[in-house]
Structures are given as C-alpha cells and as structure tokens.
C-alpha cells in the first residue's frame, strides 16, 4: 500500500439555535430559530502501512466530540467568534478549532438542512 493519499470522513450532529443579525429586518433568518446541524469532517493522508488506515475514527471523535458538545443545545450567537453564525462562518470556526489536533483535516462541511451546506477547505 505505497503512495497516494486517502480521504476519510466522519459525520456528527448537534442541535442549536441562532439568528443572523446582519440580514434585513424582514428576513426570516433574522428571527431566532434552530437546526439539527450535520457536521462532516474530512481528513486526507497516506495509509499507515501497519494499520491500513489514515486515522483511527475513534481518535477523530475524541477531538470533534468536545467541540460538538460546546455547540449542542446552545444559541450559537452567544459563543465568541459566532456572533454572526452563518453556516459558512460556523464551518470556518469549527475547522480552525479542530485543525491543531487533526493536522490531516482538509475540509469541514456544515449542513443546516438536508438541502443546504457550507464547505470550508482550510486557509490555503
């Protein structure tokens, strides 16, 4: 199993409320509302020649679960850095929180609904 990179993903969910303070007053998202968010993290790297994986999924959960607990059943606007918690801002915020402990992290996807999502792929 030499060469190349493999992408792995793991999904999480959390429930949270938010409102978007910068949209027009009559926009429906200006009012407090909630979502069951779906979070997907993607990591890329070479396969470990002994174990045959990129990263243990349990290790990923060990890093992501505390961040999910911080977001779950909260008003996102109350968290520092999420004063304007669009899906795009949230994806970026989560990526930057996780990357120090997950150096192979390449992408965070945040879905507010089954039909909408924002993808943040890192800072370059």
Categorize the per-residue pLDDT at 124 as very low, low, confident or very high, splitting at 50, 70 and 90. low
Please name the helix (run of DSSP H) or strand (run of DSSP E) that holds residue 94, with its range, or none: helix 87-98
- CB-side exposure of 120: number of CA atoms within 13 Å? 22
Q: pLDDT tens digits, residue range 24-81? A: 999 999 999 999 999 999 999 999 999 999 999 999 999 999 999 999 999 999 999 9
What CATH number corresponds to the domain at position 34?
A: 3.30.479.10
Residue 29 bears catalytic tag = yes
What's the pLDDT at 123?
72
73 has catalytic annotation: yes
**Does residue 23 fall inside a structural domain?**
yes
Catalytic residue among 27, 33, 70, 73: 73
How confident is the prediction for the chain on average, in pLDDT? 96
Q: Does the model's pTM come out above 0.85?
A: yes
The yes-or-no answer on residue 75 being catalytic is no
In a domain, 1, yes or no: no
d(CA 70, CA 49): 35
Domain membership of residue 60 as a residue range: 6-120
How many Cα atoms occupy the beta-carbon half-sphere of 11 within 13 Å? 6
Q: Reply yes or no on whether the pLDDT at 1 is more than 50.
A: no
What is the tally of structural domains in the chain? 1
Query: What is the predicted pLDDT for the residue at 35?
Result: 97
Look at residue 13 in the predicted model and tell me its pLDDT. Answer: 98
Q: 76 in a domain, yes or no?
A: yes
Catalytic residue among 25, 29, 33, 101: 29
pLDDT value at residue 54? 97
């Amino acid at each position: 199993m030499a060469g190349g990179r493999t992408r792995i993903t793991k999904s999480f969910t959390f429930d949270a409320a938010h409102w978007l303070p910068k949209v027009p007053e009559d926009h429906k998202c200006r009012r407090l509302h909630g979502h069951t968010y779906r979070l997907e993290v993607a990591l890329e790297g070479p396969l470990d020649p002994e174990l045959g994986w990129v990263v243990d999924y349990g290790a990923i959960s060990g890093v992501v679960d505390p961040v999910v607990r911080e977001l779950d059943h909260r008003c996102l606007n109350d968290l520092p850095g999420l004063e304007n918690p669009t899906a795009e801002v949230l994806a970026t915020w989560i990526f930057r929180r996780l990357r120090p402990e997950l150096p192979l992290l390449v992408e965070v996807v945040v879905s507010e609904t089954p039909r909408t999502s924002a993808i943040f792929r890192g800072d370059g």
